[in-house]
Structure 1
Amino acid sequence: MKLVTYRKTVECPARLGALAEGFVLDVERLGFGLGLSLPDRMLDFIDAGPATWRVLRQIIDAGFDDWAVDAVIPASNVTLLAPIPRPQKNIFGIGLNYVEHVAESSRALDTSADLPKEPVIFSKPPTSVIGPDEPIRHNAALTQQLDWEVELAAIIGTTARGVGKDTALDHVFGYSVMVDVSARDCRRAGQWIVSKGQNSFAPFGPMIVTADEIGDPQDLDLWLTINGEEKQRSNTRHMLFKVDHLVSDISSCMTLEPGDIIATGTPSGVGAGRDPQEWMWPGDVLECGVEKIGTLRHSVVKA
């Protein structure tokens, strides 16, 4: 399934939808039409568990004739928001998770040239999340080194506590696209949260594609452009620590709960690693995407 959070107008509340045949299907209203109670928010739907997920899939697969008329909206008539507009806790970020990015970071950011022996984990607060087409805010009083990082995001579906790699992917609900915007000159004594966690520093979307439709998360192309010029292109097969390893590692020390988000790291090509270095400025346009999921587009504006 391809799941979105949308609103019809600025005044309307955010609602859970599913994309099918060029339409956004309002999930709660789909249920009403069949005498079923289905959630109207993404977090509630994820938390409802596999039985509810299967019900929605069956409704979608049944086709247009079984959909309630008031649940069907042309996709062009809605605004997509971040799939989870307000995560319930900090996003788990993974640093230095592609071999070539380790090398470029060691040259430009004074990190170690040695490959990490275990995942490097940081966090981004819920207030950093923005949805498709929302602006990335450049606060010149804080940074002159605004950088880009395209990443595959994994969304947890069922509670994971001390799980092994062999079962870790069973706990993943789906995948999305995230940009780990970074203010490189805001690192503080080796701590990254100020660099990574400022408002608008986690563009997220445009949808969550459920794990069954993605298949192998370690075989997805990802890319990023600035003003139409390609800066990053790679494949998730080049991750140093795969998604199953990340879920297992984080769950060994912190309980992962339904709706938690793991941003799995970025490949080489970031601005800090270029010669000369490149940064984003107001007026720039960032576009990026992950295969099978979709594309994000964001303008950089003056904060």
Structure 2
Amino acid sequence: MRLMSFEIDGKTSFGAVEGDAVIDLFPLLGQKYHSLREVLADDALGKAIQAGSEGKPDHALKDVTFLPVIPDPRKIVCVGLNYEDHRIETGRDPTGYPVLFPRYANCQVGHGQAMVKPRNSDQFDYEGELAVIIGKAGRHVGRDDALKHIAGYACYNDGSVRDWQAHTHQFMPGKNFTTTGAFGPWMVTSDEIPDPSRLTLTTRLNGEVMQHANTDQLIFNVPFLISYITSFMELEPGDVIVSGTPGGVGMKRTPPVFMKDGDTVEVEITNVGVLINPIVNEA
């Protein structure tokens, strides 16, 4: 099932996508939950799926504003240099453990919303990635059990401000400018994607393919990431792991290709969907 977060008439909600419409799950779940994260935290994903399968459409998708799939995650853990072709194009040495850095909720937007190129940089780059949404809390999770902790998957564009990212060896500044990342359009529940290593990821800029890879090319796969991250902290329902981007990023092209005002960027993942965002300049 596809589950999304949205806004309409000034009110935020969450629902199940049915064709070109959305079923509002807030009233169907007794007005008990105010976000998908709260649904996951109460172990009510099954109830949401059942309600979505039985409910009737409330709004056309064209009439709602897409919000980030999880608008209020407590943690967004991003993985750097997790495809070999991307590691090679950046000139980085291999590592025995994944490169991790945080993003924060206010630096991401939903499908169809504008990703904003900062006024103090002209090096705004795309990074198409698979996002993993945690559905079950865990600490010291073994790799064999890791997939049981996943609620679903979504597309992510880890928009990166390259010059700020390169200020030091820490990535955080270039990854957390306000409204530079995108998360959506929805979450496809894990029962529909039993193996996240069998997906194809494609990033397009103004219709031109810039990145194309299979998720079996991840250096550290999804079970490894969950096991490694939970070895030092608990992952909670609604937390997000952004699993890394393939080669073909704009900064390593000749000449470099960066996103600019008026561009459109798409991240497509098979069996998940297409995340589309326009690019605008910061006011």
TM-score calculated relative to the size of structure 2: 0.94
Summarize the alignment of residues 92-103 of structure 1 with structure 2, pairs less than 5 Å apart. Answer: 92-103=77-88
**Residues 27 and 39 in structure 1, CA contact (< 8 A), matched pair in contact too:** no
Match of 2:67 in 1: 81
**AA matched with 2:94:** L
Deviates more, 1:277-286 or 1:227-236: 277-286
Question: Displacement, 1:55?
Answer: 2.5
Helix, strand or coil for the counterpart of 1:76? helix
**AA matched with 1:3:** L
Match of 1:18 in 2: 16
Q: Deviations over 1:211-261 (max 9, x none)?
A: 111121001111111111110111101101000000000000111111110
Match of 1:56 in 2: 48
Pick from 119, 142, 146 the counterpart of residue 168 of structure 1. 146
Cα separation, 2, equivalents of 1:162 and 1:57: 28
**Residues 27 and 38 in structure 1, CA contact (< 8 A), matched pair in contact too:** no
Summarize the alignment of residues 171-182 of structure 1 with structure 2, pairs less than 5 Å apart. Answer: 171-182=149-160
Question: Displacement, 1:21?
Answer: 4.3
**Residues 66 and 113 in structure 2, CA contact (< 8 A), matched pair in contact too:** no
**Residues 96 and 116 in structure 1, CA contact (< 8 A), matched pair in contact too:** no
Tell me the number of residue pairs that the alignment of Structure 1 and Structure 2 aligns.
281
Cα separation, 2, equivalents of 1:75 and 1:280: 27
Question: Displacement, 1:86?
Answer: 2.9
Summarize the alignment of residues 220-235 of structure 1 with structure 2, pairs less than 5 Å apart. Answer: 220-235=199-214
**AA matched with 1:85:** P
Helix, strand or coil for the counterpart of 1:14? strand
Match of 2:273 in 1: 294
Cα separation, 1, equivalents of 2:126 and 2:60: 32
Q: Deviations over 1:248-294 (max 9, x none)?
A: 00000111111110000001110112122211111211112111111
Cα separation, 1, equivalents of 2:29 and 2:258: 47
**Residues 27 and 40 in structure 1, CA contact (< 8 A), matched pair in contact too:** no
Match of 1:109 in 2: none
Cα separation, 2, equivalents of 1:125 and 1:58: 31
Helix, strand or coil for the counterpart of 1:118? coil
Question: Displacement, 1:129?
Answer: 1.1
**AA matched with 1:5:** S
Match of 2:38 in 1: 44
Helix, strand or coil for the counterpart of 2:280? strand
Match of 2:27 in 1: 29
**Residues 24 and 58 in structure 2, CA contact (< 8 A), matched pair in contact too:** yes
TM-score calculated relative to the size of structure 1: 0.88
Cα separation, 2, equivalents of 1:208 and 1:167: 21
**Residues 16 and 39 in structure 1, CA contact (< 8 A), matched pair in contact too:** no
Question: Displacement, 1:8?
Answer: 2.4
**AA matched with 2:66:** L
Cα separation, 1, equivalents of 2:216 and 2:25: 34
**Residues 25 and 52 in structure 2, CA contact (< 8 A), matched pair in contact too:** no
**Structure 1 runs of 4+ with >6 Å offset:** none
Segments of structure 2 that go 5 or more residues without pairing to the other structure are none
Segments of structure 1 that go 5 or more residues without pairing to the other structure are 107-111
Cα separation, 2, equivalents of 1:184 and 1:8: 34
**AA matched with 1:58:** Q
Q: Deviations over 1:100-129 (max 9, x none)?
A: 1111011xxxxx2x3221111011122111
Cα separation, 2, equivalents of 1:254 and 1:31: 31
Cα separation, 2, equivalents of 1:176 and 1:132: 11
Question: Displacement, 1:172?
Answer: 1.0
Percentage of pairs with the same residue:
35
**Residues 133 and 298 in structure 1, CA contact (< 8 A), matched pair in contact too:** yes
Cα separation, 1, equivalents of 2:107 and 2:180: 5
Q: Deviations over 1:35-54 (max 9, x none)?
A: xx6524111111111xx222
**Residues 135 and 149 in structure 2, CA contact (< 8 A), matched pair in contact too:** yes
Match of 2:236 in 1: 257
**AA matched with 1:4:** M
| RMSD value, Cα | 1.6
Cα separation, 2, equivalents of 1:195 and 1:46: 30
Do the aligned partners of residues 22 and 300 (structure 1) sit closer, same or farther apart at CA in structure 2, a change above 3 Å counting? closer
- Alignment of 1:2 onto 2:2: yes
Cα separation, 2, equivalents of 1:116 and 1:122: 15
Cα separation, 2, equivalents of 1:257 and 1:30: 24
